[in-house]
Amino acid sequence: MPPDDSALAHDESVHEANGLDDWVIAEDGLSRDNWGQVPSQGPLLNALLRLVIGRIPANSLRSFQIHNSASELLYDAMHFTKLTTLQVSDMESPAVTLWVADLLAKNRSSLVNLRLGCERTLVCGLSEGDLDDIADDMLDFANDIDVHTRDEAHKDAKSLGMVYPNSDTLFPMLGIESLHLIGVYFTVDVIPLRARQAPLFDITKIKSLSFESCLYWETSLSLPSPCAFLNLNFTSNLQAFHLRQEGCNSDFTASLNDFFRAFQGLVHVAVLLEGPASFLSSSCLAKNHGATLRTLVWDQRTGPRTSLSSSTNTGTAKETMSNVNEICRACPQLEELGLVLDVAANGNCHKNLTTMNIRNLPTRDKFPLRTADPPLLEYLAMRVAKKLVGIKRLSRAKKGTRSNLKTIGIGSLRYDDVWRGAASEHVVGLNHYLCPQIYHVDIPINIKGEPQLMLTQIARGSAEAAEEYTSDLRIFEPYWML
């Protein structure tokens, strides 16, 4: 079970004259459990937090974020009415679900950014089974979020003497611009019963959409139901799309392919697919989104890697290289790219990239170096960087010609890499080998007047430490659960 208490962190720079503007409740401390989380801090701290939250004026707070096990503090936040951002990462009880629905209803006219889910439940469950095995513990979108939010909105409007549309209204209730759902279950059997209702969210206003380990969300793509806020018959303002999905089969990838072909204009895309489905090339993005894409992460595997001797990549070396070539041809504005790539293969690389992340690592037999030896990853990074930069090309070019590449990473994040932070430096064994390393790319001119490629490690695990070198780190954010 997750810890019971939490610590408070806030930035005094966001204080305003009329009160607090941003409030973040997070776990922090010196010792962490196996998932990188902090153990219980005691009831005294929670009592203090509840007192402070209760004294914040209802219309002064704009952002309320709760990470992991601090969800019980939502009860004391019920009076807030002008929130623009709400984040609750672990909705683990019916009471918490009702509190969130109450907040959604009361802040329906102001809410812009919403992040909801059961991340802690998700990671613990996936360590023992798959998504279907933990469906009963996941957050039910239709019955937990949709129904309760509509009910609370009706109660709130009635208490204020307002006339609120009935349950068959054809108007979406929430004009969210950024929606992030984690470990949410999309109930299929309630769809025919409630098909007359409008979607809870107005899809025409959503600019950023993220699904992490959600079950059956693809079934809502083209159904006239409360779950169907992704109905394909819309004019989309969507610019950013992030998906991580376990248990992918051919039906799922077909639905995803149809989704990308249904509209145009995505700028930021991250897709992580795990399961038995055959390789899906990111070329399904090319026709409708290639001209606008600036950042792309595309990774597909059969399951978590458990051995240095075998790979779990879905695509073959030929398929992944063909994928790279298609991206380079169809996406002229691309600046950040993260994908699976055979570093030993030859092929064209995008010359406009500022940031590159090779998300896979080779099997043990391809490189004779010791598996835990840092020079292995640096060697791989240098090999890829040379292809991207084109040292020979720069040597032949006129003086002053420079490469755009500034950052290169090897490896992909997992959940515990993200939560361990700096503690990733102490990881050993297989996880040490797989833990991503990020390098700053520099090309000084040597004494002969020739460009010379140099790499400097700037981060290990999370990209947070690399922020002082560059802000182009979006492609390092997507992570696997295991």
Q: What is the pLDDT of residue 343?
A: 66
Q: What is the pLDDT of residue 198?
A: 59
Residue 459 covered by a domain: yes
Q: pTM here?
A: 0.84
Domains: count for the chain:
1
Q: With 0-12 CB in 10 A as exposed, 13-18 as middle and 19+ as buried, what is 83?
A: buried
Residue 133 covered by a domain: no
- Residue 331 makes CB contacts below 8 A (sequence gap 6+) with 286, 290, 291, 293, 296, 350
Q: What is the pLDDT of residue 180?
A: 93
Q: What is the pLDDT of residue 421?
A: 58
Helical H segments across 262-337, by residue range: 286-289, 317-330
CA distances in angstroms from 155 to 90, 112, 228, 298, listed in the order given: 25, 22, 24, 44
Residue 280 covered by a domain: no
Does the pLDDT value for residue 59 go beyond 90? no
Q: What is the pLDDT of residue 197?
A: 56
Q: What are phi and psi for residue 7, nearest 5 degrees?
A: -110, 160
Q: What is the pLDDT of residue 235?
A: 55
Q: Phi-psi bin for 9: left (phi > 0), alpha (psi -120 to 50), beta?
A: beta
Residue 282 covered by a domain: no
Model confidence at 324, pLDDT cuts 50, 70, 90, reads: confident
Does the pLDDT value for residue 118 go beyond 80? yes
91-95, 296-300, 418-422: segment of lowest average pLDDT: 418-422
Radius of gyration of the CA atoms of the chain, in A: 24
What token pair was written down for 390?
A: 């084109």
Across 62-71, 247-256, 340-349, the highest mean pLDDT is recorded for 247-256
278-306 average pLDDT score: 91
Residue 57 covered by a domain: no
DSSP one-letter code for 440: E
Does the pLDDT value for residue 398 go beyond 70? no
47-61, 393-407, 423-437: segment of lowest average pLDDT: 393-407
Whose tokens are 């914040």? That residue is 56
pLDDT above 90 covers a percentage of the chain that reads 20
Q: What are phi and psi for residue 283, nearest 5 degrees?
A: -65, -15
110-114, 275-279, 345-349, 353-357: segment of lowest average pLDDT: 345-349
Residue 338 covered by a domain: yes
Q: What is the pLDDT of residue 349?
A: 60
Q: What are phi and psi for residue 381, nearest 5 degrees?
A: -60, -40
Residue 312 and residue 345: Cα distance in Å, rounded? 18
Q: What is the pLDDT of residue 275?
A: 93
Residue 408 and residue 42: Cα distance in Å, rounded? 42
- Summarised one tens digit per residue, pLDDT across range 97-117 is 888 888 888 898 899 999 998
Q: Which residue has the higher pLDDT, 263 or 391?
A: 263
Q: What is the pLDDT of residue 278?
A: 92
29-38, 147-156, 296-305: segment of lowest average pLDDT: 29-38
How high is the mean pLDDT of the chain? Answer: 75
Residue 400 covered by a domain: yes
Q: What is the pLDDT of residue 464?
A: 84
Does the pLDDT value for residue 305 go beyond 60? yes
Across 117-121, 133-137, 138-142, 242-246, the highest mean pLDDT is recorded for 242-246
Q: What is the pLDDT of residue 240?
A: 95
Question: 113 with 86: CB under 8 angstroms?
Answer: yes
Pairing mode, if any, of strands 268-274 and 295-301?
parallel
Residue 232 covered by a domain: no
Does the pLDDT value for residue 244 go beyond 70? yes
Containing structural domain, residue 399: 303-482
Pairing mode, if any, of strands 208-212 and 240-245?
parallel
- Summarised one tens digit per residue, pLDDT across range 353-392 is 899 999 988 877 666 555 445 577 787 888 878 777 765 5
